[in-house]
Amino acid sequence: MTDNSRNPRRTFAIISHPDAGKTTLTEKLLLKGGAIHLAGEVKARGDNRRARSDWMKIEQQRGISVTSSVMTFERNGITFNLLDTPGHEDFSEDTYRTLTAVDSAIMVIDAASGIESQTLKLFEVCRLRSVPIITFVNKVDREGRDPFELLDEVADKLALDVCPMSWPTGMGGQFEGIYDLTRNQLHQPEGDSKNYDGKAQQFTGLDDPKLEEVLSPEALTRLTEEGELAQGGYASFDLEAYRNGDLTPVFFGSALKQFGVEELIEAIAEHAPPPRPQPAEPDPIQPDSSDVTGFVFKIQANMDPQHRDRIAFMRLCSGEFKRGMKLIPSALGKPIAIHSPILFFAQDREIADTALPGDIIGIPNHGTLRVGDTLSEKNQVRITGLPNFAPEILRRVILKDPTQTKKLRKALDDLSEEGVVQVFYPEIGANWIIGVVGQLQLDVLISRLSAEYKVEASLEAAPFETARWINGSDEILNAFANINQTSLARDRDDNLVFLAKSAWDVGYQEERNPEITFSATRER
Ligand code: G4P
């Protein structure tokens, strides 16, 4: 058995709509956690020197910023692993898969905008896996919406119980501080910067007469009236409901001015779950099992076209991983020795040689490892639940030079392995079809084909809008194929896919073919 209680881990991600403040909050969390430094800056001594130079070599030579993918810090004996989810407007399956590697998430919403489209999409992914969410209403130093309205929006749109943990005395021009409803502490802006400097003032409750001394009469009235309503009108904090993903504690704050950041770290430390059992076949993997198991949730390819190396990011699910260990990737079936894993570490720990459940290990490889691979000592388990999502945009790939077909296939296979795009090979016709979840992936595809594979290609509209993986008996599928040959394709793993002209088309075919299942996601 691995003793996780002596080495507590909190592995989490931040989900948000662009501009809500994820980057700012990440920075402030790392600052508070004492982890603002880069891997290369860690002072290594003695035997660790070699490991350190391995790390730096990988970062420098390959031009990969692996550091920002996993940010680790340690506080009061707890190791926090913060996994970065790509922050651009479009998102890829990468983002989704990163969320399969965390045990909890912080959802950042802009106080002026409330729940936005991408927050909602990412939240849905968390819900699929019952990932517990802590909500952070950011930017209260600016004019924002009424806090009650925001709470109700979270409750309604996400169908969650909400529990306000803190309360702003007002927003924008009326902002005079944040009141911590559980500890009865007030955090106020200081000096010209109006930042919070970490000095909390203690009170006995919202009715403490001493509050008069530090707040304007308007702010005091607002805080006492609203604070009491907030405490009385919403669910109280319930650890089990939160961990089941049914309730979200809500903190108000300003990442920019450092309000609410400390409370978030404390909430993650106190309430967020330690490494959870991982869904797997034949049985879920228990984090306290002594067998080392993990799964690859992300592959980051070399940004430098001279090298073809990739880093596979593995989330450790059980056991104690040691540098040099041999593990069997499920797709390969034979062991590989992991000699130079990249282990992410906190400020005071020097290069670690071991990792525990909840930790992320970067494994350099030349394409041996694929997203979704389980790595284990005995090769007896398979992680489940790493989804492929039905693409929302489909395009035909047109080669400028038709003699490059083989190269293109290799490139598309590689890039689909990485999760940049999905590739569909039509049953009839020569032009391969690629599918993406967001527009940005198309640009990434074309530029990487050219830069890394020297393949010049363009994309043109495909007569399809979406795709569904189809399943059924051979007989039923054959009959379906006879009629719909031109709409059928195979994915990279030879699964049958129905390419639909529209969402309506999907519904129509579902109705006509009740014995076939049309799936918008496919587990790897
Ligand atoms: P993102 O990663 O979620 O996309 O958001 P990011 O942190 O980059 O923040 C988006 C903008 O919102 C930035 O301003 C940032 O400074 C601002 N911001 C973040 N948190 C707060 C907050 O608590 N209060 C206020 N008032 N602003 C906040 P920008 O002007 O777009 O960029 P910059 O020039 O400031 O970097």
Each residue's pLDDT tens digit, 268-289: 999 999 999 999 989 999 999 9
CA distance 263 to 30: 14
23 is in an annotated binding site: yes
Best mutation site among 256, 258, 259, 264 for ligand 1 pocket (most ligand atoms within 8 Å of CB): 256
Q: Whose CA is nearest to atom 19 of ligand 1?
A: 21
**Does ligand 1 lie within 6 Å of residue 171's CB atom?**
no
Q: CB within 8 A of 368, min separation 6: which ones?
A: 329, 332, 336
Å from CA of 107 to ligand 1 middle? 15
Decide which of 209, 236, 271 is a domain's last residue. 271
Q: Are residues 188 and 91 in the same domain?
A: yes
**Does ligand 1 lie within 6 Å of residue 20's CB atom?**
yes
**Does ligand 1 lie within 6 Å of residue 85's CB atom?**
no
**Does ligand 1 lie within 6 Å of residue 385's CB atom?**
no
Position of tokens 């651009």? 88
CA distance 346 to 359: 12
Decide which of 247, 271, 295 is a domain's last residue. 271
Q: Are residues 102 and 198 in the same domain?
A: yes
**Does ligand 1 lie within 6 Å of residue 24's CB atom?**
yes
Q: Are residues 445 and 373 in the same domain?
A: no
**Does ligand 1 lie within 6 Å of residue 16's CB atom?**
yes
CATH code where residue 43 lies:
3.40.50.300
173 is in an annotated binding site: no
| Residue 2 is assigned to a structural domain of this protein | no
CA distance 372 to 359: 17
Q: Are residues 178 and 38 in the same domain?
A: yes
375 is in which domain, residue-wise?
Answer: 280-383
Q: Whose CA is nearest to atom 30 of ligand 1?
A: 19
Q: Whose CA is nearest to atom 33 of ligand 1?
A: 24
The pLDDT score that the predictor gives to residue 309 is 66
**Does ligand 1 lie within 6 Å of residue 141's CB atom?**
yes
| Residue 512 is assigned to a structural domain of this protein | yes
The pLDDT score that the predictor gives to residue 488 is 95
pTM: 0.80
Position of tokens 């909500």? 135
Residue pLDDT tens, the chain, 524 long: 444 456 699 999 999 988 999 888 988 888 887 765 433 333 333 334 334 444 444 444 444 444 457 888 888 889 999 998 765 545 556 777 889 999 999 999 999 999 998 888 889 888 888 999 999 999 999 999 999 999 999 999 999 999 999 999 999 999 999 999 999 999 999 988 899 988 999 999 999 999 999 999 999 999 999 999 999 999 999 999 999 999 999 999 999 999 999 999 999 999 999 999 999 989 999 999 999 999 999 887 754 555 566 788 899 999 999 988 999 998 888 999 988 787 765 443 345 578 899 999 888 887 788 888 999 998 888 888 776 667 888 999 999 998 999 999 989 988 887 777 889 999 988 789 999 877 777 887 888 898 889 999 999 999 898 899 999 999 999 999 999 999 999 988 889 999 999 888 999 999 999 999 998 877 65
| Residue 486 is assigned to a structural domain of this protein | yes
Q: Based on the structure, what is the number of domains in the chain?
A: 3
* Angle at the Cα of 231 from the Cα atoms of 227 and 236, rounded to 5 degrees: 150
CA 457 to mean position of chain CA atoms: 31
Q: Are residues 446 and 306 in the same domain?
A: no
| Residue 30 is assigned to a structural domain of this protein | yes
**Does ligand 1 lie within 6 Å of residue 17's CB atom?**
no
The pLDDT score that the predictor gives to residue 408 is 93
Given the CA of residue 20, which atom of ligand 1 is nearest to it? 3
Q: Are residues 142 and 251 in the same domain?
A: yes
Q: Are residues 200 and 304 in the same domain?
A: no
CA distance 128 to 120: 12
**Does ligand 1 lie within 6 Å of residue 89's CB atom?**
no
18 is in an annotated binding site: yes
Of 438, 432, 441, 423, the closest CA to residue 462 belongs to 432
Q: Are residues 107 and 219 in the same domain?
A: yes
| Residue 432 is assigned to a structural domain of this protein | yes
| Residue 6 is assigned to a structural domain of this protein | no
ipTM score here? Answer: 0.97
DSSP state of 404: G
The pLDDT score that the predictor gives to residue 41 is 34
Given the CA of residue 138, which atom of ligand 1 is nearest to it? 23
Burial class (CB in 10 A: 0-12, 13-18, 19+), 168: buried
20 is in an annotated binding site: yes
CATH code where residue 484 lies:
3.30.70.3280
Given the CA of residue 142, which atom of ligand 1 is nearest to it? 26
Of 489, 497, 386, the closest CA to residue 428 belongs to 489
C-beta of residue 358 within 8 angstroms of C-beta of residue 275: yes
85 is in an annotated binding site: yes
The pLDDT score that the predictor gives to residue 38 is 37
Q: Whose CA is nearest to atom 18 of ligand 1?
A: 21
Å from CA of 25 to ligand 1 middle? 9
Å from CA of 15 to ligand 1 middle? 15
Q: Are residues 353 and 214 in the same domain?
A: no
| Residue 1 is assigned to a structural domain of this protein | no
Å from CA of 251 to ligand 1 middle? 18
**Does ligand 1 lie within 6 Å of residue 23's CB atom?**
yes
The pLDDT score that the predictor gives to residue 219 is 97
Q: Are residues 467 and 408 in the same domain?
A: yes
**Does ligand 1 lie within 6 Å of residue 225's CB atom?**
no
| Residue 4 is assigned to a structural domain of this protein | no
Å from CA of 473 to ligand 1 middle? 53
**One-letter amino acid identity for 504?**
W
Q: Whose CA is nearest to atom 4 of ligand 1?
A: 19
Q: Are residues 156 and 303 in the same domain?
A: no
Q: Are residues 393 and 260 in the same domain?
A: no
Decide which of 383, 416, 448 is a domain's last residue. 383
Q: Facing residues of 32 across strands?
A: none
